[in-house]
Structure formats: structure tokens, C-alpha cells
Chains A and B, each alone.
Chain A
Amino acid sequence: MISFAECSARERLALLLDAGSFHEWLPPVERVTSPHLAQLGVPSAFDDGVAIGRATLDGHTVFVAAQEGEFMGGGVGEVHGAKLVGLLQRALRDRPAAVLLLAESGGVRLHEANAGLIAVSEVMRALLDVRWAGIPAVVLIGGANGCFGGMGIVARCADFIVMSDMGRLAMSGPEVIEASHGVEEFDSRDRALVWRTTGGKHRWLTGDCDALVEDDVAAFRAAAIAAIGASKPLTLAALEAEHALLASRLHALPADNAGKDEATLLWSALGIVDAQRVPELGVDAVRAMRTIN
């Protein structure tokens, strides 16, 4: 068993895809790097923190991108985002069996300001175009930096999300919530709280991810193979059903929740028995507890 969380982006590509099948576009030797970071005194990376290319997965041709969380927290800068968009647009032309995104990102790389924000919005648009073309977009989340901000939104635009219990998925990250709403609202240093509210088990139980796996590269590979045919309809009806699900969740929490753990209350409200045991249970046990289809 090899920890997905502990691998670099390139190690994940080497281990998750069919051996030796990854063909990279704009590889590091091309030196397509950030035009902004050096001006701020920040070193660039030769791949701007993301590797893109084609590969085979269980014999199927797939397009794949892997974000490197150790470089700028996986932040999406101008070039990083353009590489993702280019990959997705090429998928429209070449029609691979699926597009895989090994996401590990804090969201927009704030050093690149508007260029990063625009890049993320372009990624969202391109990803939805790929889905509209009937090509499944599959996001894999298991890196130590999680998947937050704009990339959290990108992930939820996809057809299928695979998470490990180590993985985290949300919009605002813990520090952002604490900075804007105070430590009484959210203590970002309370790791158990962070995982109860953003971690893979929580996302599985609330229906925000589609597969929950162990922190194991082989488990991610198996889930990715299973997801190749997972295209979901991109329709107004599907969007409205999603909104209805989110609206009902907003009202699921009991009004009298002062001093109680809200994640546990929500799981209970969703009909999960022994909700307070979720944090201590293993992935297999939690997988069996889901009440949402």
C-alpha cells in the first residue's frame, strides 16, 4: 500500500496510470513558467505546479492533470490554469474516454491576482464543455493540501469525485473561515473539526463525493477505472435537483444546536445511525453508512 497523500503529483501519475503510459504536454524542459512569480521574488517551477498529458488507464485512453500541492499550495496561476484549460479543450477534439484531474490546490494563486481568478473561471467553463460533450470528468482528491477555493468549485462541477478519508474538499479553507468569522465560529487548528466538516468521510456521507477510498494509490486507481463510464447528464433538471439537495441540507440541522457538534448533528439528521462514531471508524465502515444515493 502506497499513500496517495504522501506522493508528489508526478509519483501519483506514475503509479495511478498504466505503467509508462503517461505522455506529458508542455513538460518541464519546455520551461513554460509563471510570468508573475519572479517579479515577486518567488521561485518558479518548470511545470508551474501541474503536469498534463495523455495516458492509458486500464487500456482506455484518458487525459490527465496532476496538481503539485507542495508548490504554492497547488495554487492556480495564469500558466497553471492555461495548461488545465488546454488539456480540457484538447479533450473536446480528441475525445478521450475520460479526463482525470488529480486535484490538490488551495485555489487561486493569489500572487497572480486577476490572472489566477480568470484562469480558474476558464477551467470551470472548459470542464463543463467537456461534460456537455459527454466525456466524463473525474476528480481525485487525496493530497495533504486538500482541494479548496476555486478548485473546490471546479471539483463539484465534475461528473465524479473520488476522495480518501485524508482528502478534504471545500470552498473557503479553515484559516479563511477563522479569519473572516472568528475562532468561535471555526477553530482552524482543531484538526478533528476540520476533517469532520471538510474531510472525505463527511463529503461521502453528505453526497458531495461519489467514492470514498483508503489513502492508497491502488485504491484511487481502481476507483478511477470504475469512474470512466460515469458521465452524468448536464441538464437544468440535474442542476435543480442538486440545488434542492443543498437547500434541504441547509435546513436539516436542528435549530437547537448550541454547544453541540454540528457535523455529528447533520449526519444524524441525514439518518446515519451512531453518527458520533464516524470519526473513529474506518473507511469501509463509513462507506456502508451513507443514506444518500
Chain B
Amino acid sequence: MSDVPAGLETLNFSFSDGQPTGAFAPVLVGVVGSGNLEVMLEATASTDCVVRVETSARGFGSIWQAVMTDFHARHPLAGVRISINDMGATPAVVSLRLDQAVAEITGVQP
């Protein structure tokens, strides 16, 4: 028996070569609705950018890996925890939400 709840899949990613983001107020964008997702960014003391995804669409781990790798190439963050609740968003929607969340970080020098 897996400890993953039936129907939901949890995915974890970590990137270690980003630029420190510094302190910022938590950011939440998007809504957990059909074909949509919510993305929360929080500052952490770590030097990594860690990502945790909970999704109702099982079996798309390799696509999530690609989307997150692309995101990290666009925005190489460090000291950030990204938490995602997903209800079947397409890769394009996920990328847009991630970019929106980064754009809403305040108190950070570009």
C-alpha cells in the first residue's frame, strides 16, 4: 500500500543552482478548479528551490519534471518553497501560473 491517497499523486522536485530570492511575503495565485491550479510561494532559509505538487491527474510526473525544469531555467530561484494544488491544469497553464506567482513577489530586486 502506498501512502499516497487514492486518486491523488504527490510529486517533489528540487533545484539547487538558483539565485537567492531573499525574504518576501507569501504569494498565492490561481484557484483549485477544473483545469486550473493554485501556486503558493514561500521564502525559506534553504538554498534550494523545492517544489511539491499534489495533483488529481496521475501519471504525468515526467511532464511536471519538464515544466518545472523550464520554469527553473526562466526563474532560477533559491530559498523558495513552491506548493501546488492541481486539478488537471495543462502544462501551459501551469507555466503561466508559476510566472504570475513570481511576478507577484514583492520586495525583491529584479
Contact = CB atoms under 8 A, between A and B. Distances in A.
Interface in A27-54: 27-29, 38-47
A46 B5 contact: no
Interface string A226-257: 00000000000000000000000000000000
Contacts of B86: 43
B87 to A, nearest CB: 5
Given A10-B28, A28-B26, A46-B83, A41 B40 contact: no
B90 to A, nearest CB: 16
Interface string B77-89: 0000001011100
A71 B26 contact: no
B38 A45 contact: yes
A41 B56 contact: yes
Contact of B8 (A27, A43, A46): A43
A46 to B, nearest CB: 6
B108 to A, nearest CB: 18
B55 interface: yes
B32 A44 contact: yes
A210 interface: no
B1 interface: no
A186 to B, nearest CB: 25
Given A29-B26, A44-B85, A71 B6 contact: no
A166 B30 CA distance: 23
Interface in A61-99: 68, 70-71
B36 A70 contact: yes
B31 A70 contact: yes
A44 B5 CA distance: 12
A172 interface: no
Interface of B: 5-8, 26, 28, 31-33, 36, 38, 40, 42, 54-56, 83, 85-87
Given A10-B28, A47-B28, 8 more contacts: A28-B40, A29-B26, A39-B6, A41-B5, A43-B8, A45-B31, A45-B85, A71-B31
Interface of A: 8, 10, 27-29, 38-47, 68, 70-71
